[in-house]
């Protein structure tokens, strides 16, 4: 087993920062040491196999992106990142764990969906990975299988009030699943938008000739996110089940979550970088020489980017500061503009939904530290510690302490990252969702279970290094 010493850095946790050296034995952190300590010898560096100089830099637990969709079948095509390409790109950006979604749809078996996702990911990943389970079909068999998921290390599952005919479940089905979840220690994740009503608005827009990507945002109005968020909070309350609302984009939906939490309900919320930084007008409404008004297809995701005049973005940052929202994941689900998004030229409803962010989340959230939106400690909490606690991985993941997996990022606050397709794009699609974004920081070194994946702007990882994580119960359940 090789010994690695990360020397001279500032170890940042969710609760503070301290100058400390980090000693790694093989795959595991074994000590966090006062730099002046001679307890383990006067010249510890000389006994290490590898010394990483972190002077002037932050040493943080590896990023955990708890919401990705590698190679997801969607809209007649597949998300463009595979487990191989998506996890490699994640490593480039300082993310050392993802939690992806295995899929079951109506008529299918949960066991088969999960087995299929295991097959797709095994031997392919550069970083460790876990699974949530999408439940798209509620029946007696799927409810039985749902109850057994914790034995498989899958302690959370996602349902939808959107996408009728694909993933959507009715209120009765949601309630039944939540009851089973509540009894079996599962965390219910919810995509909360009123799908049937949105489909009516979308149909009316298309009938009126309003077919550009911009109208994707006009169809998926915030009222439909607020309504569905309120509804699933009430259903979860009745079912006595904890609830985690994914990808919150509207300030009114965030307010529903905040109100539920204020009443003591076990309700949590996640937003995504796109809802912090992007808008309906600037992005869904973008035009370019190459694509005209179809440029906006690069930014089609659901829920959609919101009107900047309505100040949703500010509200999302504020909610992260006040802990009304607890998490930032990416909903990574990219599609190529050519061939894939082009399926929806002339009808925005046919543009596959999703953007690609898994490579940039750690950096994009650090920029929030630079601009004063969040503290350095809150950054670490959001990108790593809370996801580990929320999804039953804490102790091994999400923290730099003895016994934890040596998933560590050395982050340079004096470095710089220019995001762009020709500069920092290791994901498997034909544009960058974050073209032109500038970050006043840089991911210098990335270790996954003690193995260096990124150093000196070079990739040293390999597919198959990443292992499946059997997750325990959410630490936020009471
Ligand atoms: N939203 C997206 O934008 N893509 C994948 C699925 C989802 O809910
Ligand atoms: Zn969703
Ligand atoms: Zn998603």
Q: What is the pLDDT of residues 269-301, one digit of tens each?
A: 999 999 999 999 999 999 999 999 999 999 999
Please name the residues in contact with 179: beta carbons below 8 A apart, sequence gap of 6 or more: 239, 240, 241
Per-residue model confidence as pLDDT tens digits over 21-49? 999 999 999 999 999 999 888 899 999 99
What are the phi and psi torsion angles at 440 (to 5°)?
-90, 60
User: Please, which residues bridge with residue 189 across strands?
Assistant: 158, 244
Ligand 1 lined by 75 (C-beta under 6 Å): no
Structure tokens at 182: 């509540």
The ligand 1 atom nearest the CA atom of 160: 8
Per-residue model confidence as pLDDT tens digits over 328-355? 999 999 999 999 999 999 999 999 999 9
Please tell me the distance between residue 225's alpha carbon and the centre of ligand 2 in angstroms.
Answer: 12
Name the residue at shortest CA distance from atom 7 of ligand 1: 302
Q: Tell me what the pLDDT averaged over the chain comes to.
A: 97
Ligand 1 lined by 191 (C-beta under 6 Å): yes
Could you tell me the fold of the domain covering 3-60+402-424+438-459?
Urease, subunit C; domain 1 (2.30.40)
Residue ranges of domains in the chain: 3-60+402-424+438-459, 62-390
Is the model's pLDDT at 386 over the cut of 70? yes
Query: What percent of the chain is modeled with pLDDT above 70?
Result: 100
Is the model's pLDDT at 478 over the cut of 70? no
Please tell me the distance between residue 197's alpha carbon and the centre of ligand 2 in angstroms.
Answer: 16
Segment holding 270, helix H or strand E: strand 267-271
Structure tokens at 420: 């762009």
Per-residue model confidence as pLDDT tens digits over 66-83? 999 999 999 999 999 999
Whether the CB-CB separation of 36 and 15 falls below 8 Å is answered with no
Q: What is the pTM of this model?
A: 0.98
- Nearest-ligand number for the alpha carbon of 159: 2
Structure tokens at 71: 């190679």
Best probe residue, ligand 1, of 302, 330, 332, 433 (max atoms within 8 Å of C-beta): 302
Please name the residues in contact with 349: beta carbons below 8 A apart, sequence gap of 6 or more: 202, 206, 216, 219
Q: What is the pLDDT of residue 477?
A: 85
What are the phi and psi torsion angles at 243 (to 5°)?
-135, 140
Per-residue model confidence as pLDDT tens digits over 198-249? 999 999 999 999 999 999 999 999 999 999 999 999 999 999 999 999 999 9
Query: In 373-470, which ranges are E strands?
Result: 408-412, 417-418, 438-439, 442-448, 451-455, 458-459
- Nearest-ligand number for the alpha carbon of 304: 1
Ligand 1 lined by 381 (C-beta under 6 Å): no
Best probe residue, ligand 1, of 76, 166, 331, 349 (max atoms within 8 Å of C-beta): 331
Strand ranges across the sheet with 50-53: 28-33, 21-25, 3-7, 50-53
What are the phi and psi torsion angles at 80 (to 5°)?
-75, -25
Is the model's pLDDT at 415 over the cut of 70? yes
Best probe residue, ligand 1, of 190, 219, 244, 333 (max atoms within 8 Å of C-beta): 333
Distance CA 337, CA 63 (A): 28
Ligand 1 lined by 5 (C-beta under 6 Å): no
The ligand 1 atom nearest the CA atom of 191: 8
User: Please, which residues bridge with residue 51 across strands?
Assistant: 5
Is the model's pLDDT at 112 over the cut of 90? yes
Name the residue at shortest CA distance from atom 1 of ligand 1: 302
Q: Could you say which architecture CATH assigns to the domain 62-390?
A: Alpha-Beta Barrel (3.20)
Ion ligand 2 neighbours (CB, 5 A) are 191
């Amino acid at each position: 087993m090789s010994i690695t010493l990360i020397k001279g850095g500032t170890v940042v946790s969710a609760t503070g920062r301290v100058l400390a050296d980090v000693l790694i034995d093989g795959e595991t952190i074994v000590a966090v040491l006062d730099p002046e300590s001679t307890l383990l010898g006067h010249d510890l560096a000389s006994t290490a196999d590898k010394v990483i100089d972190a002077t002037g830099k932050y040493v943080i637990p590896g990023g955990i992106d708890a919401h990705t969709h590698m190679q997801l079948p969607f809209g007649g095509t597949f998300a463009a990142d595979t487990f191989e390409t998506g996890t490699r790109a994640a490593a480039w950006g300082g993310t050392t764990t993802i939690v992806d979604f295995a899929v079951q749809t109506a008529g299918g078996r949960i066991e088969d969906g999960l087995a299929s996702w295991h097959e797709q990911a095994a031997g392919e990943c550069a970083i460790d990975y876990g699974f949530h389970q999408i439940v798209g079909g509620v029946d007696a068999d799927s409810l039985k299988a749902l109850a057994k998921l914790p034995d498989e290390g899958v302690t959370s599952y996602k349902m939808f009030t959107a996408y009728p005919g694909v993933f959507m479940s009715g209120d009765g089905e949601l309630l039944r699943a939540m009851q089973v979840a509540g009894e079996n220690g599962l965390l219910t994740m919810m995509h909360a938008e009123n799908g049937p009503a949105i489909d009516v608005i979308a149909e009316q827009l298309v009938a009126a000739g309003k077919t550009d990507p911009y109208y994707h945002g006009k169809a998926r109005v915030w009222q439909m996110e607020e309504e569905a968020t309120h509804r699933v909070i009430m259903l979860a309350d009745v079912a006595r089940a904890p609830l985690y609302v994914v990808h919150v984009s509207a300030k009114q939906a965030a307010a529903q979550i905040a109100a539920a939490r204020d009443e003591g309900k076990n309700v949590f919320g996640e937003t995504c970088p796109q809802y912090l930084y992007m808008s309906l007008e600037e992005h869904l409404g973008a035009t370019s020489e190459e694509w005209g008004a179809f440029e906006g297809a690069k930014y089609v995701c659901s829920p959609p980017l919101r009107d900047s005049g309505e100040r949703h973005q500010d509200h999302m940052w504020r909610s992260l500061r006040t802990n009304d929202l607890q998490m930032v994941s990416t909903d990574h689900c990219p599609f190529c503009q050519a061939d894939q998004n082009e399926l929806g030229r002339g009808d925005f409803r046919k543009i596959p939904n999703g953007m690609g962010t898994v490579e940039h989340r750690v950096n994009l959230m650090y920029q929030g530290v630079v601009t004063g939106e969040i503290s350095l400690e809150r950054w670490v909490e959001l990108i790593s510690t809370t996801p580990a606690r929320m999804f039953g991985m804490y102790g091994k993941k999400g923290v730099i302490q003895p016994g934890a997996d040596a998933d560590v990022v050395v982050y340079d606050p004096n470095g710089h990252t220019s995001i762009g397709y020709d500069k920092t794009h290791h994901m498997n699609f034909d544009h960058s969702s974050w073209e032109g974004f500038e970050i006043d920081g840089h991911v210098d070194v990335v270790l996954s279970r003690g193995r260096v994946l990124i150093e000196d702007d070079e990739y040293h990882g390999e597919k198959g290094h990443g292992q499946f994580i059997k997750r325990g119960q959410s630490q936020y359940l009471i």
